[in-house]
A = this chain, B = another copy of it.
Amino acid sequence: MAIDIDKIRADFPILSTLVNGKPLVYLDNAATTQKPRPVIEAITDYYSSYNSNIHRGTHHLSNLATEAHEAARKTIQRYINAEHAHEVIFTRGTTEAINLVAFSFGEAFVNPGDDVIVTTMDHHSNFVPWQMMCERRGANFRVVPFDENGDLRLDVYQNLLGEKTRIVAFNHVSNSLGTINPAKKVIQMAHDAGAAVLVDAAQSVQHIEHDVRALDADFYAFSGHKIYGPTGIGVLYGKEAWLDAIPPYQGGGEMIDQVSIERTTYNKPPFKFEAGTPNIVGPIGLAAAIDYLNGLDFADIMASEDSVLKYGRSRLLEIDGLTIYGNAQHRTSILAFNIDGVHHYDLGTLLDTHGVAVRTGHHCTQPIMTALQIDGTVRASLALYNTRDDIDALVAAIRKVLKMLGR
């Protein structure tokens, strides 16, 4: 492990903040990650020296901004190994990317009686849009369950797949269980059944492999803010053929070719799907984040995160009455748990008084909670800057809280 975490931590200004007088221990990375200095500087630099509207401008600032914006598209293309830059569409985030596909794919390819498949372990953002689309299009909403360890029931999935299946949507990594789904296999099975696949990569693109061509994903969505980039920017990758085949989602400037009262024709991807002035600075900040990652060795990042995860698991299990949720074969970055007789909300709130930031509740995955028959969990989630010290701080704080609660 060549990765120098102290050096990395120094790149993230917020990590040296005090919270309630205690050093911040930030373990809420699945909700959003912190930003390294180059990202913040890229944003400031944009607004201070070349802010302008893009694409149609003919002046200097507009050229600079357009170039930076389109260079960012290429940086992202390379990071996910897409074949073409125009297969990278900018959205507000994963949620919007999925809504776009649910709408546009639905309009073109989903008809009454067709099937759409998601999983019980999907985030509401990869669940509700498909439910809404199925309702609008008269299609059947099918859901693949997971087993007691948090592994997808591939046998049930196989049975659900059929000639009526139009599209399968699933998360590569579960934000509540940490399960790494066997994405290649899930995709292959869908393709064998003639269905398209959307991969929700919100929790995977920053932690594990993220090669859309190796996965053979038809659509692939993620959020900038979860991969050390700015808020309000996300990516939808789509295979060129699919992007050509589905209709646009929103109408407006940028996405048109010709507009008249009688007839409007649309631009080519990616612009066809980017109506209106985009979040111009978003991709620029996101590319700065990805450049930052590219400056490290991704295998080292994975190894470091994995070692902290394993350490966290074993330290947490030392605590009496603590249950960990998510024991899938392959896991990453998530430590979700409850302690007997302690409400997750109380534990999370009280951990905060010790400077430890975790998330509590259903984590936008109520179907998981329903399946596990719980209301919620405490979730500590890791990023590349977390260390064993963070885990030690978490465990020490939990012990203090339990003591205060008289346990």
A99 interfacial by beta-carbon distance below 8 Å: yes
Query: Contact flags (1/0) for A19-58 with B, using CB distance below 8 Å?
Result: 1100010101001101100011001100111111100111
**Distance, CA A278 to CA B43, complexed state (A):** 18
Is B251's CB under 8 angstroms from A99's CB?
Answer: yes
Is A260's CB under 8 angstroms from B35's CB?
Answer: no
Specify which of B231, B233, B252, B359 is in contact with A129 (CB 8 Å cutoff).
B252
Please name all residues of chain B whose beta carbon is closer than 8 Å to the beta carbon of A143 when the two chains form the complex: 261
Stretch at the interface among A90-98, A158-166, A294-302, A327-335: A90-98
Please name all residues of chain B whose beta carbon is closer than 8 Å to the beta carbon of A352 when the two chains form the complex: 58-60
A215 interfacial by beta-carbon distance below 8 Å: no
Q: Separation in Å of the A384 CB from the closest CB of chain B?
A: 16
**Distance, CA A281 to CA B129, complexed state (A):** 25
Please name all residues of chain B whose beta carbon is closer than 8 Å to the beta carbon of A13 when the two chains form the complex: 47-49
Q: Separation in Å of the A265 CB from the closest CB of chain B?
A: 10
Query: Contact flags (1/0) for A343-371 with B, using CB distance below 8 Å?
Result: 00100110110011111110010110010
Stretch at the interface among A1-9, A77-85, A120-128, A191-199: A120-128
A203 interfacial by beta-carbon distance below 8 Å: no
A189 interfacial by beta-carbon distance below 8 Å: no
For chain A, give the interface size range. Answer: 35 or more
Taken together, the copies of this chain in the complex come to 2
**Distance, CA A234 to CA B150, complexed state (A):** 39
Asked if A61 meets B357 with Cβ closer than 8 Å, knowing A252-B98, A277-B231, the reply is yes
Is B58's CB under 8 angstroms from A345's CB?
Answer: yes
Please name all residues of chain B whose beta carbon is closer than 8 Å to the beta carbon of A50 when the two chains form the complex: 14
Asked if A53 meets B31 with Cβ closer than 8 Å, knowing A47-B14, A348-B58, the reply is yes
The CB with the most chain B CB atoms within 10 A, among A60, A231, A282, A366, is that of A231
Is A17's CB under 8 angstroms from B129's CB?
Answer: no
A168 interfacial by beta-carbon distance below 8 Å: no
Is B28's CB under 8 angstroms from A124's CB?
Answer: no
A interface residue numbers (CB < 8 A to B): 13-14, 17, 19-20, 24, 26, 28, 31-32, 34-35, 39-40, 43-44, 47-53, 56-62, 92-96, 98-99, 102, 120, 123-125, 127-132, 141, 143, 223, 225, 230-233, 248, 250-256, 258-261, 264, 275-282, 345, 348-349, 351-352, 355-361, 364, 366-367, 370
Can you show 7 pairs from A to B with CB atoms below 8 A apart? A53-B225, A60-B352, A92-B279, A95-B276, A232-B280, A232-B281, A259-B366
